[in-house]
Amino acid sequence: MNFEELHEIAKIENEKRAQFEYSINVCVAAGCMSCGSLELLTSFKKEIERRGIENWCKAKGVGCLGLCSAGPLVSVQRYDQKSEVIYKSVTLDNVHEIVDALTGEPVGRLACSKEMSFFKNQQKIVLENFGNIDPEKIEEYIAVGGYEPLYTVLREMSPANVIEQIVKSGLRGRGGGGYPTGLKWTTVMKASGNQKYIICNADEGDPGAFMDRSVLESDPHRVLEGMAIAGYAVGADKGFIYVRAEYPLAIRRLKKAITQAEQLGVLGRGIFNTPFNFDIKLRLGAGAFVCGEETALISSIEGSRGNPRPRPPYPAEYGLWGSPTLINNVETFANIPAIIRNGSAWFASIGTEKSKGTKVFALAGRINNTGLIEVPMGTTLREIVFNIGGGIPEGSKFKAVQTGGPSGGCITSDYLDTPADYESLTKLGSIMGSGGMIVMDDTSCMVDVAKFFVEFCMTESCGKCVPCRDGSAQMYHLLSKITSGEGNINDIHMLEKLSDLINNTSLCGLGMTMPNPVVSTMHFFKDEYLAHVHDKICPAGVCNMKRGGRK
Amino acid sequence: MKKVSQIQTLIIDGKEVGGKSDESILQVAKENDIFIPTLCYLEGLSDYGGCRMCIVEVKGMPRLVPACTTLIREGMEVTTNSEKIHNYRLSILALLFTERNHICSACVSNGHCELQTLALKLGLTHVEFPYIFPKMPVDATHDRFIADHNRCVLCGRCVRACHEVEGAHTKDIMGRGITSRVITDLKESWGSSKTCTSCGKCVHVCPTGALTEKGKSVAEMEKRRQFLPYLKLMRERR
Ligand SMILES: Cc1cc2nc3c(=O)[nH]c(=O)nc-3n(C[C@H](O)[C@H](O)[C@H](O)COP(=O)(O)O)c2cc1C
Ligand code: SF4
Ligand code: SF4
């Protein structure tokens, strides 16, 4: 494979596209697929054939269109005018009228307004190809400029140049910690060792998060390309993607993508006729949240029990089978091709001073537009919840937004104007985390929410260290007591004491951050806790209180 | 280039001490008769970092660190026993005592138990958490040994001794969190294990009365661990 051949593929593909005036893009990511988008796609194909219009109109499957709550979603693109109509909640009965409407006015009843803030106020880098290319066809990825950054890197840049670009871009890890990516790459590059590895962390275990899954399902080549660029930069020739077995569609698409990339020679030996080799293999996780922690993940790939180990030494120095290992999140890798293509200055111009670029969030809970969004770092929570997210359903009132999943905290309406960036969220006692955002209204009891997350951590704790293993069980016991109306004020003090203990003495990030949901709800909603223990009532009416409790 | 360990000086509890750059804070403290409580650590086995008893403060580090897995550095200032650390250690011990059944008066290891010794040494007078006390099985199927899971603190010493020293890897841990448990092979009875060599190493490294020899009455089970440093030394010389 050389540059001309890559261009040839892009050219052929673009010509193929140009033949068709219209393209009906049906979302075939997991959300829409589960409400029947595959049947819909078949039905569109049949309808096109029946009408004999296949020479100017085609139907194809594409990645996630974002507004998952209103699936199945269908986007009708008109090439010459570069216009697009997005239809929501499409059923088999609508196929006729949508095809009818191709040349006329859109079906107003089903169409989402392009002016809708959900679409208008986003900025897409990681999700740029979503809803546009078929994730199962490498040619379509190449047609939109895919694998060109890899070519540029291999033929025109030295590893040091590449790392310099990543450092300058200001990119930080999207897996939760926000560690500067360029710095991590530099450390791995400088680490001594003949064998080095790249690992892509696609374990995504936080309840309510589905950003990484969508990226793998909708644009898998982007991640492969990011990993290959990383491999070249740090001097690794082998990569692993650790993906949870609960993501069968993502796994299938990744396998297909790897095979296609190997066949075309953009992965494998002598990529683009250079001496650079890079192989990627999949490793499936068995759905343990703790296996997202980097040292546990490495242990799991090695075939051992997925237990974390103390750091240092960090994986950058002592990782997979003792070799220097670069481990980054899916979204982190997905940013790399765009940074190489558009330059680090472009990337650094987006976002805030310390948090560059964009962030993908999974909006869930009591919010009108649940789904996947991508916004510049520093967008306020108000903008995300009330504008892009469309606010809270009629008749209920916003109470809090939970970010960072089991390691994060709640943010109340007083703080909605906080910019969503790493530092600001941490200051409020929450964290950016991987991008899960759960919106709650006044039907949620905050003690119950805290209990939910503590229970999650209790059952997901690996059990290796005492404070997390036993402390989580004791905390869960106390919260159960409080939510059943049998708690007293001492239980609240005990919760505070345990939170401090677990946070300060646990071995890994799971334990250290586990108290966050409790500390944060106790800080912002102390009165709710007190109502549970003093008055034996649950203000939100969620907890099943044994009135008066047992004395 | 071969890595050579260098001599470094540091301060532990105000005392100036020296050690090699590949030694941990715990090793150097031991060499200098500075006591740091430990439970999962055992000389001769790999470091585990699970019990969190050996946490210490290092000046300039944002978090407490386990002394067993943190290597020394030139100029380091370590505090091994502030009030804060002491209270954390007491809480961790209390969590262990409430996790399973540790009624010493009815235990074959009474008087020879590391958990008990630590509690006495640190002055644990009461526990502030409710007892969880799950009903755990006792495996007495082996000819010579008994595994009483009610006394286990999940320190992982038996697993490491079996894997690293004996090379049998009969013992392992299954499950997660508070429900984890030491198992024999793939959760079979100890007596029917085909991989167990009956060497008894796990029994003797076990800090509590979880793994014991048969035929011992209350307070009769003393553990013999001298073999470990000896084996380690012999292997290093090879
Ligand atoms: C309990 C726990 C779970 C984690 N789960 C994930 C995960 O699902 N995906 C992920 O990318 N990082 C996860 N992390 C963070 C990783 O340890 C690691 O920091 C990250 O993959 C580094 O990539 P980045 O620098 O690109 O963010 C988790 C950390 C902890 C402590
Ligand atoms: S903090 Fe929890 S998950 Fe992490 S090592 Fe300790 S027990 Fe395991
Ligand atoms: S059986 Fe003994 S050595 Fe093994 S984990 Fe339990 S307490 Fe530790």
Percent of chain A topping pLDDT 90: 86
- CB-CB under 8 Å, B92 with A474: no
- Judge contact between A532 and A538, C-beta under 8 A: yes
CA–CA separation, B93 and B99 (whole Å)? 10
- The residues, any chain, with a CB within 8 Å of residue A544's CB and separated by 6 or more, are A483, A484
Residue B199's pLDDT band (cuts 50, 70, 90): very high
Show residues of chain A in contact with B91, CB under 8 Å. 467, 497-498, 501
- Reported pTM: 0.94
Give the residue from A68, A82, A81 showing the smallest Cα distance to A37.
Answer: A68
pLDDT over 50 (residue A76): yes
Give the class (CATH, top level) of A446-535: mainly alpha
B164 touches chain A (CB under 8 A): no
Question: Structural domain boundaries of chain A?
Answer: 15-115, 145-348, 358-441, 446-535
- Beta carbons of A474 and B130 less than 8 Å apart: yes
Contacts of A370 (CB under 8 A, 6+ apart): A68, A69, A363, A364, A389
User: What is residue A129's three-state secondary structure?
Assistant: coil
Torsion of CA A59, A61, A64, A67, to 10 degrees: 40
Contact A310 B69 (CB under 8 A): yes
Evaluate if residue A550 carries a pLDDT over 50: no
Q: Which of B24, B52, B71 to mutate to test the interface with A (most CBs of A within 10 A)?
A: B52
**Which residues have a Cβ under 8 Å from the Cβ of A311 and sit 6 or more positions away?**
A295
Residue with tokens 């969508």: A214
Tell me how far the alpha carbon of residue A211 lies from the centroid of ligand 2, in angstroms.
25
Q: Mutation test of ligand 3: which of B53, B112, B152 has the most ligand atoms closer than 8 Å to its C-beta?
A: B152
Count of CB atoms situated within 10 Å of the CB of A399: 22
Mean pLDDT of chain A: 94
Hey, is the C-beta of A305 within 8 angstroms of any chain B C-beta? yes
Q: Is B39 in the pocket of ligand 3 (CB under 6 A)?
A: no
Chain A, 463 to 482: residues with Cβ < 8 Å from chain B are 463-474, 477
Q: Which of A459-468, B156-165, B182-191, B222-231 has the lowest mean pLDDT?
A: B222-231
Tell me how close the Cα of B123 comes to any Cα of chain A, in angstroms. 18
* CA max distance for chain B: 57
Instruction: Report yes or no: B156 at the A interface, CB cutoff 8 Å.
Output: yes
pLDDT of A511 > 90? The answer is yes
pLDDT at B1: 47
Of A460, A466, A497, the CB nearest to B52: A466
pLDDT at A98: 93
Whether residue A238 contacts residue A279, with contact meaning beta carbons closer than 8 Å, is answered with: yes
| Domains identified in chain B and CATH numbers | 7-81 (3.10.20.740), 87-237 (3.30.70.20)
Cα B158 to middle of ligand 3, angstroms = 6
Contact A474 B98 (CB under 8 A): yes
Q: Which of A463, A501, A507 sits opposite B88 (nearest CB)?
A: A501
Whole-number Cα distances in Å, A259 to A10, A236, A252, B16, B161:
19, 20, 11, 60, 43
From chain A, the residues in CB contact with B172 under 8 A are 305
Give residue-wise pLDDT tens across range B36-69. Answer: 999 999 999 999 999 999 999 999 999 999 999 9
Tell me, yes or no, if B129 comes closer than 8 A to chain A by beta carbon.
yes
- Mean pLDDT of the A10-22 span: 90
Residue nearest to atom 10 of ligand 1 (CA): A175
Please determine whether the domains at A145-348 and A446-535 fall in the same fold group of CATH: no
Q: pLDDT of A210-234, one tens digit each?
A: 999 999 999 999 999 999 999 999 9
Q: What is the pLDDT of residues B102-135, one digit of tens each?
A: 999 999 999 999 999 999 999 999 999 999 999 9
Ligand nearest the Cα of residue B51 is 2
Any chain A CB within 8 A of the CB of B49?
yes
Mean pLDDT for A361-376 is 94
CATH for A145-348 (3.40.50.740, 2.60.120.380, 3.40.630.30, 3.40.50.11540): 3.40.50.11540
Q: Does A262 lie at the interface with B, CB-CB under 8 angstroms?
A: no
CA pair distance B49, A448, nearest whole angstrom:
33
Residue A340 confidence class, pLDDT cut points 50, 70, 90: very high
CA distance B98 to B93: 9
DSSP state letters, A394-462: TT--EEEEEESGGG-EEEEGGGTTSB-SHHHHHHTT---TTSEEEEEETT--HHHHHHHHHHHHHHH--
Chain A closest CA to B181's CA: distance in Å? 9
Rounded to 5°, the CA angle A343-A120-A427 comes to 70
Compute the distance between CA of residue A299 and CA of residue A131 in angstroms, rounded to an integer.
36
Rounded distance from Cα A245 to ligand 3 centre (Å)? 32
Q: How far apart are CA A37 and CA A40, in angstroms?
A: 5
Q: Tell how far CA A323 is from the center of its chain.
A: 28
CATH code, A15-115: 3.40.30.10
Any ligand 3 atom below 6 A from CB of B113: no
Q: For ligand 2, atom 1, which residue shows the shortest CA distance?
A: A511
- Interchain contact, B154 vs A474, CB within 8 Å: no
How many residues in total does chain A contain? 551
**A407-429 pLDDT tens trace:** 999 999 999 999 999 999 999 99
Contact B95 A288 (CB under 8 A): no
**Best substitution site from B45, B154, B203 to test ligand 3's pocket, by max atoms within 8 Å of Cβ?**
B154
Locate A136 and state its tokens: 């199962």
Cβ burial of A202 (10 Å; 0-12, 13-18, 19+) is: buried
- CATH hierarchy code of domain A358-441: 3.10.20.600
Q: Is the CB of A331 under 6 A from ligand 1?
A: no
DSSP characters over B122-172: HT-----SPP------EE--SSSEEEEGGG-----HHHHIIIIIIS---EE
Question: Is A511 close to ligand 1, i.e. is its CB under 6 Å away?
Answer: no
Cα(A175)–Cα(A134) distance, integer angstroms: 26
Flag if A477 and B172 touch (Cβ within 8 Å): no
Q: What ipTM does this complex have?
A: 0.95
